[in-house]
Copies of this chain bind each other. A is one copy, B any other.
């Protein structure tokens, strides 16, 4: 990772986390645990890849940064966090740790974890609807794309397939379909957000979508590889729940070496797509580098 990208990530992660902290403040009252539980997951670290992709895409198009763009990016991080909270539940992946800290249902309780997830999902839509300077047509486009990417034909559908596939040996095509929905869909939405905000053409949006799918798959393949190669300390969680839950992964389906090659292929395809965009794609390219080179 270049020093320039490191600086870029540091700066943007700080801005995003500061805003997330403001958007979900500590509260008093009988419902205060809801906000503590949501903050536990939302502010407990993370790469902030999705909001950074939105900001980087908008910057690429030369869109003047403003509070509305930051808030739209934060809405994506909230949806991502909700999906993590629900995925970690005992009735799903049953994970005790995430990013080196207890998962929400372990730190608090299961009921609160379900509700904290519900809250972050609902709040993401509220944030988008209430953006102050963006016109309604654009806000509707964001809400439409987000609800589709994280709905039954997107992230939630992927999670259902994930549960259904437990204990089964999958074909590569099935694994692909699963992760296009479960992992890539929200990453795709993050790029599309940047495009929609910047009045991208439908052709440009299509390239952003495909780039999102490719780095989304790359992200998942790398995740599967790291699940095997990383120690608990490095990866911030215990033995992979995928392995414990007997799930097919790119490593179990392809083998380690072919999985690594496949990640390289997806990454190369992603970079190739960027050539179609007549803008300075340096940051998006470096973010693709980050996705394939990351070690946690």
Residues of A whose CB lies within 8 Å of any CB of B are 30-31, 33-35, 86, 89-92, 105, 109-115, 117-119, 121-123, 125-126, 128-130, 135-137, 139-140, 143-144, 146-148, 150-152, 156-157, 159-161, 163-165, 174, 177-178
Contacts and interface: CB of A to CB of B under 8 A. Distances in A.
Contact of A156 (B118, B146, B147, B174): B118
A115 B31 contact: no
Contacts of A178: 30
B144 A126 contact: yes
A107 to B, nearest CB: 14
A178 B140 CA distance: 32
A76 to B, nearest CB: 14
Contacts of A164: 30-31, 33
Contacts of A109: 91
6 contacts: A30-B165, A34-B157, A92-B114, A118-B121, A123-B152, A130-B144
Contacts of A139: 136, 140
A156 B91 contact: no
Contacts of A151: 119, 122-123, 126
Contact of A34 (B125, B160, B177): B160
A112 B160 CA distance: 7
